[in-house]
A and B are shown apart, each in its own frame.
Chain A
C-alpha cells in the first residue's frame, strides 16, 4: 500500500515552460487535492476534486489547471511556468471531503 505517490520529486523549469505534476493514490479515496507550500508558510489549496469527474478551485488557482483522470489519479498542470510558482507542491487524498487527508511526499519545483 503506497498511499499517495507524486512524480517527479524534483523539477527545474525555465520561465514559460510547461509541465504536469502527477499524483496517484491507492486507497480508493474519492477526494483529492493539490496544495503549494512556500518557504516558511503553511499550505495553500490550489485545486481539489471532491469526487471523480469534478474539480473546483481552491485559494490560489491562477496559473494552474487540473485533471481528475480517474479515481486514482489527479494531475496538476502549469501551462507557462513563472518564478512565482517556485514552491513545494503536495497532493493529498481523503475517503470523502469530510474525512482526514493523507499527503504525498511533495514535488520541489524551481522556476528560473
Chain B
C-alpha cells in the first residue's frame, strides 16, 4: 500500500473551513484514499473515501488531484467537536482480498473559538 505524508498539526478557527492535505505520490491506479479521524481516546471514525473523483458526504468533502498524487479533506464549517487526529490512508481494493488500513501519525487538527 502507498505511503502517505500529512502535516503534524493544524489550527482552524471555529466556523471556518478546515482543509487537511495529504500527499500520496506513490499511489497506484487501484488504490483508494480513505480518511478517518480519532477524537481523543475514542475509536477511529470513518469519514470518507474516494478513488479518482471528488466525493462529498454529510461530514466532509474529498478533493483528489487529477494525477492522484495528493488529496485534501475539507470540513466546510469546523466546530470545536471536530478537534481530532485525522488520518489519510491509501488502501488497495482488490476483489476478494484483504486491504489493511495502515495508520500513520495523522494530522492533529485543533479548532479554536
Closest beta carbon of chain A to B92's beta carbon, Å: 10
Decide yes or no whether B80 CB sits under 8 A from chain A: no
Decide yes or no whether A98 CB sits under 8 A from chain B: yes
What B residues does A44 contact at CB under 8 A? 103
B43 touching A42, Cβ below 8 Å: no
Closest beta carbon of chain A to B108's beta carbon, Å: 10
Decide yes or no whether A61 CB sits under 8 A from chain B: no
A42 touching B99, Cβ below 8 Å: no
- Measured as residues with beta carbon below 8 angstroms from the partner, the interface class of chain A is 20 to 34
A50 touching B43, Cβ below 8 Å: no
- With CB as the reference atom, state the residue of chain B lying closest to A41: B105
Q: Is the interface of B mostly helix, strand, loop or mixed?
A: loop
What A residues does B43 contact at CB under 8 A? 4, 90, 92, 103-106
Q: How far apart sit A90 and B97, CA to CA, in the bound complex (Å)?
A: 22
Residue from the list B93, B95, B106 in contact with A42, Cβ < 8 A: B106
Interface centre among A56, A58, A97 (most CB of B within 10 A): A97
Q: How far apart sit A43 and B102, CA to CA, in the bound complex (Å)?
A: 7
Give 30 pairs: A residue, B residue, CB < 8 Å, sorted on A.
A4-B43, A31-B98, A35-B103, A40-B105, A41-B105, A42-B87, A42-B102, A42-B104, A42-B105, A44-B103, A45-B100, A50-B98, A58-B100, A59-B102, A90-B43, A90-B44, A92-B43, A97-B97, A97-B99, A98-B93, A98-B99, A101-B44, A101-B46, A101-B101, A102-B46, A103-B44, A103-B45, A105-B42, A106-B41, A106-B43
Q: A residues bordering B, Cβ < 8 Å? A: 4, 31, 35, 40-45, 48, 50, 56, 58-59, 88, 90, 92, 97-98, 100-106
